[in-house]
A and B are shown apart, each in its own frame.
Chain A
C-alpha cells in the first residue's frame, strides 16, 4: 500500500500514454482532472491486487468516445461519482475500490479521479495492460466475466443502466449511446470481485506506468541510457528510427484508422516502416514484412525525448522511434488472439509473437 502524489500522477500519465500504443488520447486533460481531484481530496491510496479481499467488490471506471472530442468538451467532474454510485446501488453491493480498464492517456487518470472523489483505494491492475479500442477487448472478457450490468452517463446528467446478452453487444449499444451523448461518455463496467481481480487482471500496471514515466521524464542527459532503461523495464525491443514521410487517415465504422510511413534514419537509412492503426497501433511492417503485430504493443515515441506520440498527433516530418513490447500472456491465448489478433482488425496475418519476429530479423 502506498499513496499517489502529484509527481506520481505526472509519471503515470506519461507512462500510460506510452503503454496506450498511440490510442487513449492526449494525457493532458486526464492529468489535469486527476491533479485537481487530489488537490481537493488528498492523495489516493494504491493497493496491490494481493491486498484486497476475495469477496470484496470492485468496479473499474473509464471514459468512452473520441479522444479528439475530449480535448474540446471534457467532463463536468461529478459524472464519475454519479455513474459509479448508480451501478453500486443497482448491484446493491458496497464497492471497495476501483481500477483502470486500460492503460492510456485518459483512462489511466479517470480511476484516480474516482478514487479521490469517493475516498476509495485504487487497485494496481487493469484489464488490458495496454489500450484497445473496443469494450470487449479486456482480459476479464477472455475469462468469461460479464461487462454488464454497466452504467453510462454524460456531463448533462443523462444516465443509463444496461444489461446485455454478451460483451460484444455491450460494445455495440454503448457505442451508439456514446455518439448520441456527444461522442464522449463515462462508463462503469465489468463489476468484479477481489478474487476475479487477482485471477484475471493485468497486475502492477499503474506502478509500471509510473516507472516508465519516470524514465521518460527524467532529465538524464544521455538518451541511449534512457532508452536502454525503458526497454529493460518493459522487456521491449527497439525496432526502428525514422522520419514520418506520410500519414494516411480515414474514418471508418466510427474509428480513426490509418497508416503512417517512416523513412529510416541513420543505421536504418534506405529502409522503411509502415505502422497501421485503428486508434491504437496494430501492425508494423518493415520493407513490407511484419515486425510486430497486435496484441503485442507497438509504441511510437519522439526520437529525442522518448515521449509517447498518440496516433492523432502523427505529423509529417516528425522523427520517431518504433519500440515494441510483448503483450500480457493472456492476450496470446487462443481466445485472446481471436478477440484482438490481427485478423479481428481485418489484417490478413497470422499472429506471430514479437520475440519470434525479432529473431527472424537478426
Chain B
C-alpha cells in the first residue's frame, strides 16, 4: 500500500511516495510547468519510475494545488457568475461586488439580483421568497452566466431557500450549471460569505481542469484504483468530487501543507514552522498538529472573505534573495533570483550575490563551488548573516503568543541560509526531507467536517446544541471521506448574539478523522 502526494508550487512541483506506515519512500522535485498538468505528469512519472514501486499498490493520491489561487490572482479562466441575494428589501445599502477590484467584476460579468427571501436572526421569514421571481431571473440569465452563486440573509440559521434556488437553477438552466450556496461555504457575515461564494462559483472551470488533469495523469501512469483527493487549506483533504463543488477550499493549501509536513517530519504537534523558499519565507504556527487559523478577514486576490485561512506571515527572505551593500549597510532582498538560482548565484557560476552564497562563504552550507565565493570579505559575510538572523528572529517574534523561547521546525529548499542559533528560539529542528515538506503534508492530510449554526439556548439546551452541531460536522466529514470511527472533535467556538432575548449563540464545531 502506497500513498502518492503531489504539491504544485509556484516554482517546483514536488512528488513523494509514502508507505502504509507513512515512511517516505521516495521524493522528486520538478519545475512547475506553464500548463500545470504536464508538470504533474512528469513528476508523477519520475517518482514512480525511480522508486520502482508496484503501481497497483497505490491506494491514495493527493494533490495540493495553487491553481485556484493563481486563477483568482491572475483573473484567468474564471467563469461568468450570476449572484442571487435573498433578503430584499434588507441589505440593499451595500450591493454585491461592492469594493471588488473592477477588472475582477468585469471578468465575472458582475451580474446580480436582489430577491425576496432570507431570515431574521430568530428564524422568522425576513421577506417573501417567490419561486416565480427566481425563475424569472434565471430565465433572463439563460446562456449569459456559466455559474450561479446564491446567498440568503441568515442562511446559517436556515438554508432551505438557498437549496431551493439551487434546484430551480437546474430546472430552468439545466443540470450542468454549477450552483454554490453560501450556507455551505462561509460563516456569519453576509458580505464576506457572499464574496467567498462568488469566488467559489467562479472557480468551477479551473477546478474541473485541475482535477480532470490529475485523474488523467494518474490513469496514464496506470494508477486506477487509488482514492483521489485534493488538499484544503486547514490541513485536511477532500474527495475530488467534493473539491469540484467547493474549489475555494483549495485556496492557500500550500503553506498549510508545509506546516503539516514539517510537523510530521519533526514528530511534534506544537511548534513554529519556518518554510524557506527561493524568494520568500512563510512562518506559521502549528497547534495540536494543525495550523493556527487567521482570525482576521482575509483578502483573496483583492476580495474580502471570512474564509478560514492559515495564519501565515511571509517575509522577503529566501535562498535566492539578493545581497547588496548600500552606504556601508548590508541589505537583503526583497528581490530574488528565484528559480534562476542555479544560473545566477555566485556558487553556481553566476554573477549575483545571494544569501546562499553568504551561507556557503561562511561554511554553514555546502552547495555549488565554494571557491567561487572565497573572495567575499568575511566581515561583510558575517554582517549579512547576522542580518538574516535578525530578519528571521523578528518574523518569528511576531507570530509568538508568549515570550517563551519557541521550537522552530525548519523546512523548504532555502533553509540552508538560516542560522542555527536564533534569539527567542529554544531549538531548531531540521530534517533532510524538509525540502519536500509540502508534498508530505499533502499526503498525510486528514479529513475534516465543519458545521456552524445559530442555536437558541432557551429552546434547545447547550449540550443538545453541541451534540447536534457535532453530528452535522461528522456528516460533513463522512461525506468528504472520513473513517467514521476515527472522527474526533477538534474545535468548538461559541459566540452569543447580543440583544437577543432567547440566549442565541452561534456555535461552530469542527471534527477531523483519518481517511477511509
In Å, the complex CA distance between A241 and B92 comes to 41
The smallest C-beta distance from B49 to any residue of chain A, in angstroms, reads 46
B481-513 vs A, CB cutoff 8 Å, 1 = contact: the mask equals 000000000000011111111011110000000
Contact B94 A29 (CB under 8 A): yes
In Å, the complex CA distance between A263 and B304 comes to 31
Q: Does B121 contact A (CB under 8 A)?
A: yes
Q: Does B436 contact A (CB under 8 A)?
A: no
Of residues 180 through 205 on chain B, the ones whose CB sits less than 8 Å from some CB of chain A are 188-191
Contacts of B402 in A (CB 8 A): 243, 263, 265
Among listed A71-79, A121-129, A201-209, A289-297, interface-contacting one: A71-79
Contact B120 A179 (CB under 8 A): no
Contact A36 B295 (CB under 8 A): no
Q: Does A28 contact B (CB under 8 A)?
A: yes
Contact count A vs B, C-beta below 8 Å: 134
Select B500's contact among A28, A254, A265, A312, beta carbons within 8 Å. A254
Contacts of B188 in A (CB 8 A): 68, 71-72
Contacts of B118 in A (CB 8 A): 73
Contact B497 A68 (CB under 8 A): yes
Q: Does A255 contact B (CB under 8 A)?
A: yes
Q: Does B98 contact A (CB under 8 A)?
A: yes
Contacts of B191 in A (CB 8 A): 28-29, 32, 71
Contact A76 B499 (CB under 8 A): no
Q: Does B235 contact A (CB under 8 A)?
A: no
Q: Does A91 contact B (CB under 8 A)?
A: no
Contact B89 A183 (CB under 8 A): no
Select A72's contact among B89, B154, B292, B501, beta carbons within 8 Å. B154
Task: Contacts A72-B188, A77-B92, A156-B89 given; indicate if A250 touches B496 (C-beta within 8 A).
Answer: yes
Task: Contacts A66-B121, A72-B189, A73-B153 given; indicate if A317 touches B500 (C-beta within 8 A).
Answer: no
Select B94's contact among A33, A178, A255, beta carbons within 8 Å. A33
Select A75's contact among B90, B99, B501, beta carbons within 8 Å. B90
| Interface size class of chain A, counting residues whose CB lies under 8 Å from the partner chain | 35 or more
The smallest C-beta distance from A157 to any residue of chain B, in angstroms, reads 7
Contact B496 A36 (CB under 8 A): no
Q: Does A163 contact B (CB under 8 A)?
A: no
The smallest C-beta distance from A193 to any residue of chain B, in angstroms, reads 30
The smallest C-beta distance from A320 to any residue of chain B, in angstroms, reads 11
Q: Does A328 contact B (CB under 8 A)?
A: no
Q: Does A94 contact B (CB under 8 A)?
A: no
| A/B interface sample: 22 pairs, CB < 8 A | A28-B191, A29-B94, A32-B99, A33-B94, A36-B98, A69-B497, A71-B189, A74-B93, A75-B90, A75-B91, A76-B93, A155-B89, A175-B499, A182-B124, A183-B500, A249-B495, A249-B496, A251-B505, A265-B403, A304-B398, A312-B498, A317-B292
Given contacts A32-B98, A72-B190, 7 further A-B contacts (CB under 8 A): A28-B304, A72-B188, A73-B154, A75-B91, A157-B89, A243-B401, A249-B495
Residues of A near any B CB (own CB < 8 A): 28-29, 32-33, 35-36, 65-69, 71-77, 113, 155-157, 175, 178-179, 182-183, 243, 249-251, 254-256, 263, 265-266, 269, 279, 304, 312-313, 315, 317-319
List 7 tightest A-B contacts by C-beta distance, closest first.
A256-B498, A77-B93, A66-B499, A251-B496, A182-B120, A155-B90, A76-B89
